[in-house]
């Protein structure tokens, strides 16, 4: 009897909820505007070992021995079999004026069967994959009595298994480049391995650079990690904002992203300290960023250094700023110039004769932090010089509507402004329904160049963040989802947006910021629920914005239509712990196919993905039946849903 009563109560509750279902009204008769085709993009900089120890596939950490001036960090002496070797940093035997340090290895007691040498621990391990070719490149010289052989190997950390090994000889007192291919056999993937270089007779060898690459995306030399590239391509990005972020600014003017020092062969790249507390090899240089864009079929959104660095240093507008303006002009020429131009020819020399397409240049980063108030004049100086040579480029001011009016640029009208939003989930839930509605539609256009919802009670820059997982949970994805829907509704004005940060190496000590979209260690990677939410949104976007009436529930959403195919994409986000029945009314369509698709991401708020559970929360596609101009759809608890409706 009790069971029957409970059952009846449930039915009554369900029926009454359906009767009071909120209505999501979509006006398909009169598109409200053009949805920006460039809305979905990526933001990137060297943070959290995004490049070194991340996307940039180099496996040797501290490959040029410059990471620490006094200690060869990440390198250690191999003392197997009691053989004696020493290693020291040497500034007096450098390969060239860029690689100003070498590592001197002296083996005193080495013998056949009793090698002595040095090991590199990689970026939290060397990833060993089965049947894989690794390319080692080594710059070396030796004392007069030693010509080789030198053995390079990938070895398990317990020393028991040699996964791959090669020898090279012919060392002389002059620097030479040696290359070797190391091939693994049938092995179980592991990152509990290191790279080692050994001698089996006494001698002294200097190394100027030691590099090891696994197979890369499209087999590009000096290229990118394949699994991460696949995840990025899957996001269907239309642009890539680089190289920052704080990374473009540097802590000091000296340590800014000085693009001219990041091009050419890797042996010509000295690297530089990055503002996130470690040294960048500059292996990921300007040309690599551009190739990365090319590989993703995305456009570059180039951030140029604009005379402000994070420790509060600024360059005075006027003659002092001129060299920096010229640097930006040269950078644009390197990217877009034909091979008859000075910098276009340099790009061709670096291996890419074809110019790249460039439409967007951002002048600096977060210049509201510049207390001198010089941004207006600095921006204007860059703007005038760039427009004089490249009138069609869209120039972006780094101070947008999220900053006080008096901080923004007033001397002229930027083509676009960049707004940054790191906000709590609750803040996004509150601000998203009205977001951007009051903005002046006559421009400047808006680029939301950094944003992310955090699920913690403290912001990302709080020390407590260190104790939280690197990637966000389902609750954060809900906050991200409502903000994405808001940006889509306003994408006549919000032309571009990108979540930040994009990448995080999840090893202890590797990260500086959370939450981040994609996590990885040396061997595997996973997407956070926010990654999947963005992927669902970016792969299902029409070119027309359809206006939607605000819902009377906490569900938030957006609607777009593909004007070619007529397909309608509804994005809906339910922050509630209960199923939310929605009456969906599509006005202005003759008829809809009765079958559509629903892509659903849902879970408990605290649920997330991790290296151990990479697919705990992933979107699921199902067939949606009974679609008509007015139909009921039940939003699962804590869900993000894309409904794909075909017009007939
Ligand atoms: O995304 C992390 C940092 O946040 C960026 O480098 C900076 O632009 C912002 O303050």
Q: What is the pLDDT of residues 83-137, one digit of tens each?
A: 689 999 999 999 999 999 999 999 998 989 899 999 999 999 999 999 999 999 9
Q: What is the pLDDT of residue 84?
A: 85
Strands (E), 41-122: 42-43, 75-78, 85-90, 102-107, 116-120
Pocket of ligand 1 (CB under 6 A): 45, 47, 244-246, 365-366, 450, 500-501, 513
**Residue of 251, 306, 365 with the most ligand 1 atoms within 8 Å of its CB, for mutation:** 365
Helix H or strand E segment including 478 = helix 474-489
Of 126, 124, 66, give the one whose Cα is nearest residue 278: 66
The partner residues of 116 in beta bridges, in order of sequence, read 199
Check pLDDT > 80 for residue 639: yes
Evaluate whether 455 touches 472 at the Cβ level (below 8 Å).
Answer: yes
pLDDT, tens digit, 9 for 90 and up, residues 240-254: 999 999 999 999 999
For residues 196 and 83, what is the distance between their CA atoms, to the nearest angstrom?
15
In this structure, the residue with its CA closest to atom 5 of ligand 1 is 245
Q: What is the pLDDT of residue 81?
A: 64
Check pLDDT > 50 for residue 13: no
| pLDDT band at residue 648 using 50, 70 and 90 as cut-offs | confident
| CA 451 – ligand 1 centroid, Å | 9
| CA 303 – ligand 1 centroid, Å | 13
Check pLDDT > 50 for residue 402: yes
Q: What is the pLDDT of residue 342?
A: 98
Helix H or strand E segment including 391 = none
Check pLDDT > 80 for residue 574: yes
For residues 130 and 549, what is the distance between their CA atoms, to the nearest angstrom?
55
* Average pLDDT over every residue of 376-398: 98
For residues 288 and 58, what is the distance between their CA atoms, to the nearest angstrom?
13
Check pLDDT > 90 for residue 2: no
Check pLDDT > 80 for residue 1: no
Check pLDDT > 50 for residue 12: no
Q: Over the chain, what is the mean pLDDT?
A: 95
The partner residues of 411 in beta bridges, in order of sequence, read none
Check pLDDT > 60 for residue 7: no
In this structure, the residue with its CA closest to atom 7 of ligand 1 is 245
Check pLDDT > 70 for residue 372: yes
Q: Look-up: residue for tokens 């197997």?
A: 80
3-state secondary structure of 153: strand
| CA 261 – ligand 1 centroid, Å | 23
Distance from the Cα of residue 555 to its chain's centroid: 29
Q: What is the pLDDT of residue 4?
A: 52
* Average pLDDT over every residue of 634-647: 97
In this structure, the residue with its CA closest to atom 3 of ligand 1 is 245
pLDDT, tens digit, 9 for 90 and up, residues 438-478: 999 999 999 999 999 999 999 999 999 999 999 999 999 99
Strand pairing class (299-304; 239-242): parallel
Residues 56, 60, 61, 63, CA torsion sign: negative
For residues 358 and 362, what is the distance between their CA atoms, to the nearest angstrom?
12
| CA 525 – ligand 1 centroid, Å | 23
The ligand 1 atom at the shortest distance from the C-alpha of residue 513 is: 2
| CA 59 – ligand 1 centroid, Å | 26
The ligand 1 atom at the shortest distance from the C-alpha of residue 366 is: 8
Evaluate whether 294 touches 224 at the Cβ level (below 8 Å).
Answer: no
Q: What is the pLDDT of residue 9?
A: 46
Of 90, 189, 215, give the one whose Cα is nearest residue 141: 90
Distances (CA, A) of 393 to 11, 243, 337, 383, 513: 61, 18, 14, 10, 32
Of 583, 573, 557, give the one whose Cα is nearest residue 637: 573
Strands (E), 321-386: 360-363
The partner residues of 272 in beta bridges, in order of sequence, read 280
C-alpha gyration radius of the chain: 28
| CA 420 – ligand 1 centroid, Å | 9
């Amino acid at each position: 009897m009790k069971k029957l009563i409970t059952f009846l109560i449930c039915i009554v509750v369900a029926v009454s909820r359906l009767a009071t279902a909120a209505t999501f009204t979509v006006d398909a008769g009169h598109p409200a505007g053009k949805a920006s085709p460039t809305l979905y993009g990526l933001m990137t900089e060297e943070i959290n070992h995004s490049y070194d120890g991340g996307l940039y596939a180099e496996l040797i950490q501290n490959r040029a021995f410059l990471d620490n001036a006094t200690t060869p960090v990440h390198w250690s002496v191999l003392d197997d079999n009691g053989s004696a070797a020493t290693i020291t940093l040497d500034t007096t035997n450098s390969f060239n004026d860029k690689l100003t340090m070498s590592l001197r290895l002296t083996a005193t007691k080495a013998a056949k069967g009793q090698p002595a040498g040095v090991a590199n621990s990689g970026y939290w391990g060397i990833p060993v994959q089965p049947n894989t070719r690794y390319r080692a490149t080594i710059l070396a010289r030796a004392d007069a009595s030693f010509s080789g052989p030198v053995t390079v190997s990938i070895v398990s950390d317990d020393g028991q298994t040699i996964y791959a090994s090669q020898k090279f000889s012919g060392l002389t007192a002059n620097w030479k480049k040696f290359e070797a291919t190391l091939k693994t056999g049938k092995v179980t993937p592991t990152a509990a391995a290191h790279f080692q270089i050994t001698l089996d007779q006494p001698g002294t060898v200097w190394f100027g650079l030691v590099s090891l690459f696994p197979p890369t995306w499209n087999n590009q030399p000096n290229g990118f990690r394949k699994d991460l590239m696949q995840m990025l391509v899957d996001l269907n990005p239309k642009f890539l904002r680089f190289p920052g972020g704080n990374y473009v600014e540097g802590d000091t003017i000296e340590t800014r992203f000085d693009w001219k020092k990041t091009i050419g062969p890797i042996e010509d790249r000295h690297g530089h300290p990055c503002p996130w507390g470690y040294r960048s090899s500059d292996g990921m240089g300007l040309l690599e960023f551009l190739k990365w864009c090319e590989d993703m079929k995305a456009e570059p959104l180039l951030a140029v250094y604009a005379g402000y660095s994070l420790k509060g240093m600024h360059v005075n507008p006027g003659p002092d700023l001129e060299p920096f303006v010229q640097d930006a002009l040269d950078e644009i020429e390197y990217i877009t110039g034909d091979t008859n131009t000075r910098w276009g020819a340099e790009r061709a020399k670096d291996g890419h004769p074809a110019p790249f397409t460039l439409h967007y240049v951002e002048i600096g980063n977060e210049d509201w932090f510049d207390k001198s108030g010089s941004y207006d004049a600095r921006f204007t100086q860059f703007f005038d010089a760039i427009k004089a040579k490249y009138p069609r480029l869209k120039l972006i001011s780094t101070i947008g509507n999220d900053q006080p009016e008096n901080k923004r640029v007033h001397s002229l009208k930027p083509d676009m402004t960049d707004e940054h939003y790191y906000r709590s989930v609750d803040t996004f839930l509150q601000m998203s329904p009205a977001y951007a509605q009051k903005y002046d539609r006559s421009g400047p256009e808006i680029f939301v160049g950094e944003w992310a919802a955090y699920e913690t009670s403290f912001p990302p820059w709080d020390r407590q963040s260190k104790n939280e997982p690197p990637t966000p949970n389902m609750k954060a994805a809900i906050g991200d989802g409502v903000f994405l829907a808001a940006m889509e509704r306003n994408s006549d004005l919000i032309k571009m947006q990108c979540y930040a940060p994009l990448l995080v190496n999840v090893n202890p000590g590797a990260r500086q910021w959370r939450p981040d979209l994609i996590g990885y260690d040396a061997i595997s990677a996973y997407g956070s629920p926010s990654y999947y939410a963005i992927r669902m949104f970016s792969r299902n976007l029409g070119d027309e914005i359809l206006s939607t009436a605000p819902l009377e529930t906490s569900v938030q959403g957006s609607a777009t239509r593909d004007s070619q195919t007529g397909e309608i994409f509804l994005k809906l986000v339910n922050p509630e712990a209960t199923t939310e029945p929605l009456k969906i009314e599509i006005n202005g369509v003759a008829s809809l196919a009765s079958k559509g698709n629903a892509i659903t991401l849902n879970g408990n708020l605290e649920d997330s993905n991790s290296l151990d559970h990479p697919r705990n929360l992933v979107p699921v596609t199902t067939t949606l039946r009974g679609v008509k101009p007015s139909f009921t759809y039940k939003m699962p608890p804590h869900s993000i849903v894309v409904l794909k409706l075909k017009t007939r």
